[in-house]
Amino acid sequence: MTMLGGVLLLSGCGGDGDGDGDNPAPPPVGATTQAPEPSGATCDQAADTVKNHLNSPDVTSVTVVGQCTLVVVETTLGDDDTAVAAARQLCERAGEVAYTGDINGISVKSRSDAELSNGITGMKCLP
């Protein structure tokens, strides 16, 4: 009988080794419940798509930030009312191609880094 108990112990029978046998098995190595983070290349492609679509001399750069969820359009626009109207047009135009994957927001900024307009998926851009 001692021999049988030794074989069972060596073969892994009898639970997790703490004697109670009621702990569930750990998840497989590499298993995850979270979605993978988007790659930098995917975010860069989205930024390039938006910049090419805008095709405006007012746009200095387009980046995608925050786990690839927000498009930031930096411009040469000032902070006056005319700039706000132009920024809103840029925001609406960016929205035509920006909302793909996890991207759910757009921010258009002035040359002083003030936000002139912003938008979210399915809504008109706001000044």
Q: Is residue 28 part of a domain?
A: no
Q: Is residue 11 part of a domain?
A: no
Which CATH number characterizes residue 92's domain? 3.30.300
Which residues span the domain enclosing 62? 40-120
Query: How many folded domains does the chain comprise?
Result: 1
Q: Is residue 44 part of a domain?
A: yes
41 by DSSP, 3-state: which? helix
Tokens of 25: 């098995």
What value does the mean pLDDT of the chain take? Answer: 81
Q: Is residue 126 part of a domain?
A: no
Q: Is residue 2 part of a domain?
A: no
Mean pLDDT of 86-100: 97
* Number of other CB atoms surrounding residue 94 within 10 Å: 27
Tokens of 126: 């706001």
Could you report the per-residue pLDDT of 70-79, keeping only the tens digit for each? Answer: 999 999 999 9
- pLDDT category at 81 given cuts 50, 70, 90 is confident
Q: Is residue 93 part of a domain?
A: yes
Q: Is residue 8 part of a domain?
A: no
Is the pTM here over 0.75, yes or no? no
Q: Is residue 7 part of a domain?
A: no
Q: Is the pLDDT of residue 36 over 90?
A: no
Cα–Cα dist 75/15, whole Å: 63
pLDDT > 70 in the chain, percent: 68
